[in-house]
Structure 1
């Protein structure tokens, strides 16, 4: 009987030790996420390789966790569930506003001058349009944005639409929707569920390359002016956790990423330095649209 009691106490003590050990292990793990701009399975494949790369470069455990929405990525960052995130322009601005001291440290070489593609179902009869203003033929169509927090799938496209039409999207279009991500926008417009929509140009290229676009059903009708977009943002308190100089080491690891397989997963040709000031245009536009305090 005494033997059973001693064994039970030993098991309980071990369980308590493990319970307290878990946070200590977690404290040594750099956790990051990314806005869910396309299919979750594809995101997991993309970013697990990035996690492995960063772990080797930084000599710390690195883990990627997916999130279900753009807003969830910002919440995870604010709550310190993740210390690093691959954000869009607007979600990065939101996150840095909520966590003082956070920094944009790197962006894709293409992100300094990003753009959106307006797309339309071929049945609309709209032909591709050039110039700095949205095509008038969009008026009175059904139209879908991506996520409500997407820079390339909502924020900048809405800004350009308001600039051209002088009205809110609800007044321009017959019906307005929010698909949730770029992949879904392409699918909805291609199927005719919405007559037109707007997507990140990189997401469009990725969908075309993956064979998910039927050019007989959907086409690009307008390319927006450029703006700053995606970036890596890190919390300002990571050095308390991983040591002095960690932020710069992290930035250097991202800038040094040159494996074509890793870069193709974004897809980007490489990474360049970024800082918070690069996104002041996004701050200004978000405030104009009452999407940011």
Structure 2
């Protein structure tokens, strides 16, 4: 039985860069973590150690720096598209490129009640993410975020679940629902004038509104409705995937203290935790192709 080389890619992971905009007394800052991966005519490098077609990963790192100078990385999706096109269009052996980006937000420090021109403090509710896959003729942009911690103190239930001889969990009509949400949504062959920042803010807003207002019977139900709301609001989105660890809050038993505890004092358990994953997609959406490239597992 023959053994052959399977799918492969190589690149530079987690290039940390900070881009300052200093064209006025009020400076701007964009703080990124950039990873690149290339596919193409690289079989000889794996099979024979022949490096003649291999663009060094150190060069990929330098390209990320240079393109942050050429294209101010805001929105990060436009920067990722430009960097991907550089690799595919300008480097002959490269047939496809994937750029993954994390953005860390900063806010201006207040001095005398006004934002300071060039002093910042790290902030942000979540880490914004983007993954650009350019595999001509297709282009896929996966926009999203991770580590968005959200909690509702009521409006969540969990009961009528399957029970066996090992079940100890008690049903409840009123519980804390909390999670650290990861969400990613795919736009295929996006229009050149797509408002990436507007879409990002809008998707986050509609999902948080659904999280807040849905009388939830399960975290699974909540994720489905959040994903559906995003697709209803933005026809450009082909699919969305969500991952939500259940950040459990258990009511403290005050019986030993001869006190009542009417859903007021809880202990937060970080592990083990339920891990809920869901997706919503349009039944007529174009497929993403090779999922290894275009929409990585979120587990």
What TM-score results when the alignment is normalised by the length of structure 2?
0.23
Higher Cα radius of gyration:
2
Give the number of the structure whose residues are more often strand, by fraction: 2
Higher relative contact order (CA 8 A, sep 6+): 1
What TM-score results when the alignment is normalised by the length of structure 1?
0.23
Give the number of the structure whose residues are more often helix, by fraction: 1
